[in-house]
């Protein structure tokens, strides 16, 4: 596997997966923001936050973790 990995907050992530997740979250956040009523900035804020959460949920289903964790007993 010749994947481009970058370090982000002390963890290695695949660059392609990171870009996909950022695009999904940005799209859902901005889409939700623009769906909110234009005259109500409070609703725009909450719609944008809801879009960010929705983007996160979609990203977690589309991008699977690559890490293998093995638990060992001290015995």
Domain contains 39: yes
24-33 residue pLDDT tens = 999 999 999 9
Domain contains 71: no
Domain contains 67: no
The confidence score (pLDDT) of residue 33 equals: 94
**Containing domain of residue 45, as a range?**
5-62
Domain contains 70: no
Q: How far apart are CA 1 and CA 47, in angstroms?
A: 40
Instruction: Please list the residues that pair with 8 across neighbouring strands.
Output: 11
DSSP per-residue letters across 14-65: EHHHHHHHHHHHHHHHHHHHHHS-TT-HHHHHHHHHHHHHHHHHHHHHHS--
Domain contains 73: no
Low-confidence ranges of the chain (pLDDT < 50): none
The confidence score (pLDDT) of residue 75 equals: 66
Q: Give the contacts of 41 (CB within 8 A, at least 6 positions apart).
A: none
- Report the number of distinct structural domains present in the chain: 1
The confidence score (pLDDT) of residue 1 equals: 55
């Amino acid at each position: 596997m010749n994947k481009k990995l970058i370090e982000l907050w002390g963890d290695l992530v695949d660059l392609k997966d990171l870009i996909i997740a950022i695009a999904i979250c940005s799209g859902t956040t901005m889409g939700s923001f623009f769906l909110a009523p234009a005259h109500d900035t409070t609703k725009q804020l909450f719609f944008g936050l809801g879009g960010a959460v929705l983007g996160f949920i979609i990203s977690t289903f589309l991008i699977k973790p690559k890490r293998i964790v093995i638990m060992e007993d001290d015995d």
